[in-house]
Amino acid sequence: MSAAARARALADVGRLDQAEDEVRSGLVDTPHDAELLGLLAGLRRLRGDVTRALEYADAAVAAAPGQSVVHIERAECLLVLSRWDEALAAARESVRLAPSRPEPHRVLARCLTVRKDFGTAREAAGRAITLAPHSVPDLMTLAEVERHAGRRDAARQATARALAEDPADTESRWMMALLDAETMRVRDAMRGLRQLAADHPDRYGAPALTWPIRGLLAGLRRGLLAGVPLVAVLASIGTWWGPALLLSRGAAVVMALVTAGLAVRVLVPAGRLPWLCLGLLPARTRRAVAAGLIAASWSVPVLSWYALTPRWSTLALAAGLTVALLAAGATEQKA
């Protein structure tokens, strides 16, 4: 068995360190082997060392510019580095070199997706599926394209096809849970996440299982950031035009009701599990989530109080709570 074959076998079972050792051992004898350089690039990318991965991918392209697979790996590295124009060029070169293979069309679809060229991305993903109708990665690429394009029903159909091919596929199961979450099918999403966490606790643990709480806070941040300034603007206009003050109070009522209603709709069907998993998050993340929950929960009575007795001090308190919620969200993302 060649060094490349041994490395692939080790990588397939998650033994990336040993796979990299095999590749490096092979490169001692053949330092310009494009296959080994491409494998090393992929392994370094999977381990987060994307800058070095791109160096190895560039070396693989220099060693074998006529091989489509090395251009695919270079495109993958460039995608992670957000160098989208270069990634697209590399993907197109891989398609030119191997138009009858599905892999180049798959990476081309992903490059087009990040550029929001969803129609062309859909065509590329469709071409990959035409070439490999039962390929789960190609079906999931189409699902990603459709999800980013806002066509969640189409994304669900593609994901269902992938699950029909391989019911145990992790990425397909994650995508279905994600689509359930985005369409507010909270119970279904939690059921899928519980199963994923049971099968892959290292990958889908507490951060994934706390999504109802953290996702709710993210939605409230966006809503309050847009709504509180609107209430303030209407209140300012209300100082010289009376009806605007009524609109300001009405907007505050709507925001309070929407905030409370969204919380009930998400947290009640999610059950106790997200709250139990909060304790498993890192301390800094726990504190940020707790601060966000406090700010969000207080925003409902404060907005309601403003609607009953409109005062600038109450509105200032609502603005302060919004700032606190945003600050907690920023801290959570950095944690």
Q: Taking 70 as the threshold, does the pLDDT of residue 1 lie above it?
A: no
Specify whether 158 is located in the same domain as 24.
yes
Q: Which of 11-15, 184-188, 256-260, 295-299 has the least mean pLDDT?
A: 11-15
Q: Residue 315: CB partners within 8 Å, gap ≥ 6?
A: 228, 231, 232, 235, 306
Contact 190, 270 (CB under 8 A): yes
Specify whether 177 is located in the same domain as 229.
no
Specify whether 217 is located in the same domain as 161.
no
Specify whether 43 is located in the same domain as 192.
yes
Alpha-helical (H) ranges within the chain are 3-12, 16-29, 34-46, 50-63, 68-80, 84-97, 102-114, 118-131, 136-148, 152-165, 170-182, 186-199, 206-209, 211-238, 242-270, 273-278, 283-308, 312-334
Q: Taking 70 as the threshold, does the pLDDT of residue 305 lie above it?
A: yes
The tens digit of pLDDT for each residue in 96-139 reads 999 999 999 999 999 999 999 999 999 999 999 999 999 999 99
Specify whether 108 is located in the same domain as 232.
no
The tens digit of pLDDT for each residue in 173-232 reads 999 999 999 999 999 999 999 999 988 887 888 889 999 999 999 999 999 999 999 999
The last residue of a domain, from among 153, 181, 202: 202
What does each C-alpha distance from 289 to 40, 142, 296 come to in angstroms? 39, 34, 10
Query: Domain of 167: which CATH number?
Result: 1.25.40.10
Residue 272 per-residue DSSP state: S
Three-state secondary structure call for residue 185: coil
Specify whether 178 is located in the same domain as 312.
no
Residue 115 per-residue DSSP state: T
Specify whether 196 is located in the same domain as 273.
no
Specify whether 240 is located in the same domain as 323.
yes
Specify whether 142 is located in the same domain as 16.
yes
> Which pLDDT does position 309 carry in this prediction?
92
> Which pLDDT does position 176 carry in this prediction?
96
The last residue of a domain, from among 202, 217, 247: 202
For residue 102, which of 149, 76, 139 has the smallest C-alpha distance?
Answer: 139
Contacts from 64-68 at CB under 8 Å and sequence distance 24+? 64/34, 66/97, 67/34, 67/97, 68/93, 68/94, 68/95, 68/97, 68/98, 68/101, 68/103, 68/104
Q: What pTM does this model have?
A: 0.84
Specify whether 290 is located in the same domain as 310.
yes
Specify whether 215 is located in the same domain as 152.
no
Specify whether 226 is located in the same domain as 169.
no
Axis-axis angle for helices 34-46, 16-29 (nearest 10)? 150
Segments forming the whole domain that contains residue 288: 209-334
Proportion of the chain above pLDDT 70, given as a percent = 99
Average pLDDT over residues 158-186: 95
Q: What distance in Å separates the CA atoms of residue 321 and residue 1, rounded to the nearest whole number?
A: 63
Q: Taking 90 as the threshold, does the pLDDT of residue 7 lie above it?
A: no
Q: What distance in Å separates the CA atoms of residue 272 and residue 256, rounded to the nearest whole number?
A: 24
The last residue of a domain, from among 185, 202, 219: 202
The overall average pLDDT reported for the chain is 93
> Which pLDDT does position 22 carry in this prediction?
85
Q: How many domains, in total, are found in the chain?
A: 2
> Which pLDDT does position 322 carry in this prediction?
96
Average pLDDT over residues 9-27: 83
Contact 62, 40 (CB under 8 A): no
